[in-house]
Chain A
Amino acid sequence: MTALRYVLRDTWRLIVHHWVLGLLTLITAGVMLWVLGVTTLLSLNMENLLSRLESELAVQAYMVRDNTINAEEVARKIQALDGVHSIKTYSPSESLSKLQQKMGSQSRALEMLGDNPIPWNFEIHVNSASDVEPLVEALKSMPEIDDVVYAGLVVKRISALSRISSRIALVMFVLAVIITALVVYNTIHISLYSRREEIGIMYLVGATKAYIATPFVLEGTLLAFLGALIAGGGIIGAYFPGIELIRENLPLLTNIIITDRAVIWRFCGLLAGFGATLGWVCSYLVVTRFINSITRPE
């Protein structure tokens, strides 16, 4: 307890002593973590949108007209293929009545066809857009399947969009982490460098390395944590009014984007935890390295 009190006092002294540098670090960490948070939220919303579109993507496979083939067996074979999320089997009569429902008053035109021309068919939902193309290839190679119908271009575009969005989010995430880490690392390094003589003296008169290092590590952790809190505040301040704006102008989108306030609060909590961890790791690395280098005997 006594040691903790001394360490906290020394941490406060460090922050006060380098308050300008600390403020700059706080602002930079805040901005970078805000960028990181916003990018992650955008990416999550994009994922939401894409998964919604993907869940609505369906491949229609029509069976060959052959009474000796069991449709349920074919359905089981399709279910076993890669990327298949769910499958619905439609008999010729079910398919016809569905078509009649869709056509409404024009359904009488179907009577002109005579016998029901629709074979047994399957509505297949996939796990993700990227699964569609391989699945279509696999279906085409099945002798029991006569024809496969799917929205090829849409699938390709969604798949490409999903890949690009993930990559952009990853690049932004890595950049934000690197910049925040560098800023914290440099601030603590400057703090250490300006007190290198003091550190040497402390070690010489019997202070342990942990006692010397802890205030510096706490300083870095605290700065990054406060930066993350500022970023979280900025995200909440921008996101919630944004949701209201969308609710008023584009109500359809509210079913797709994340609107649950509890989720956003939890996300900001995670961001604060991430900031503190990042600050701790960077400070620990620079402090350990620095103290070891100046206390090493010749």
Chain B
Amino acid sequence: MNIQFSGVSKIFEPDIAALVDISINIQQGEFVYVIGQTGSGKSTLLRLITREILPTRGVVAVGGYDLGRMRKADIPYYRRDVGLVAQDFKLIPTLTVYENIAFVMEAMSVPKRLVSQRTKDVINQVGLWRRRSMRPAQLSGGEQQRVAIARALANSPSLFIADEPTGNLDFYTAAEVMKILFAINAAGVTVVMSTHNQGIVNSSRQRVIELESGRLVRDEKGGLYTE
């Protein structure tokens, strides 16, 4: 799924410019790091892609669809094709690991047998099968992050959005999470990930989009964290 930002600005009330005149084009199957200091607009950019927020100016188009003009009824169907991993995991505290992943498919009325099979597959993929009956509060930060990744994978999305997925993780756990993200990308899924982690960006040399005070200051293929 390709992503196109054309002259996109986002201004929050009263007058805070989170993004200013951003134009980027991300092709299907790319792996893109979005970097920048805290408050530079990374999360805003990702939230525009998931249509949690709408641009004040410009057009955000994903898979050829202008998200600003998307019908309300179509939003859930669009989001089923977008895997989202948030920095705060966004897991449902009252549900177990298994239920947190299964409900994404249940919401699509997938038959129970298929839900069971797919949930088992994605939990195994992130190596948490033995933790399937636990609730998020009983898991470590890294494990919760892996549950969020498994949930995002459940619907086999074409686009994977990860907002600082390694932000709260130690080096080894972060490396495990990155291994999963690279595997997802290798299967042809577009991955857009925001991060502060220099080591990760510098070791994998993917496309880097750098933001500063809401402005695009660098868009470099095979880039490092700093120029």
By a beta-carbon cutoff of 8 Å, the part of chain A in contact with chain B is 2-3, 5-6, 17, 197-198, 201-209, 211, 297-298
Q: 26 A-B contacts, Cβ less than 8 Å apart?
A: A2-B106, A2-B110, A3-B109, A6-B107, A197-B92, A201-B91, A201-B92, A202-B92, A202-B103, A203-B76, A204-B84, A205-B84, A205-B104, A205-B151, A206-B77, A206-B80, A206-B104, A206-B108, A207-B103, A207-B104, A208-B73, A208-B76, A209-B76, A211-B107, A297-B51, A298-B53
Cβ–Cβ contact A202 & B107, under 8 A: yes
Docked CA distance A205–B81 (Å): 9
Cβ–Cβ contact A198 & B107, under 8 A: no
Cβ–Cβ contact A297 & B79, under 8 A: no
For A211, give the chain B residue with the smallest CB separation: B107
By a beta-carbon cutoff of 8 Å, the part of chain B in contact with chain A is 12, 50-54, 73, 76-77, 79-80, 84, 90-92, 94, 103-104, 106-112, 151-152, 155
* Contact for B76 among A3, A197, A206, CB less than 8 A: A206
Interface of A is mostly: helix
Nearest Cβ distance between residue A11 and chain B, in whole angstroms? 13
Residues on the A chain within 8 Å of B109, using CB: 2-3, 6
The A-B contact count (CB < 8 A) is: 59
Residues on the B chain within 8 Å of A207, using CB: 76, 103-104, 107
Cβ–Cβ contact A297 & B77, under 8 A: no
Residues on the A chain within 8 Å of B112, using CB: 2, 5
Docked CA distance A6–B80 (Å): 18
Given A2-B112, A198-B94, A298-B12: A204 and B52 interface contact (C-beta under 8 Å): yes
Residues on the A chain within 8 Å of B111, using CB: 2
Residues on the A chain within 8 Å of B107, using CB: 6, 202, 205-208, 211
Given A2-B111, A6-B106: A206 and B155 interface contact (C-beta under 8 Å): yes
Select the residue from A5, A206, A207 with max chain B CB neighbours within 10 A. Answer: A206
Select the residue from A5, A204, A205 with max chain B CB neighbours within 10 A. Answer: A205
Given A2-B111, A3-B109, A202-B103: A298 and B79 interface contact (C-beta under 8 Å): no
Nearest Cβ distance between residue B84 and chain A, in whole angstroms? 6
Docked CA distance A272–B161 (Å): 49
Cβ–Cβ contact A204 & B94, under 8 A: no
Cβ–Cβ contact A297 & B94, under 8 A: no
Docked CA distance A64–B110 (Å): 89
16 more contacts with CB within 8 A, not counting A206-B77, A298-B53, are A5-B112, A6-B109, A198-B94, A201-B90, A202-B107, A203-B76, A203-B79, A204-B52, A204-B79, A206-B79, A206-B107, A206-B155, A207-B103, A208-B107, A297-B54, A298-B54
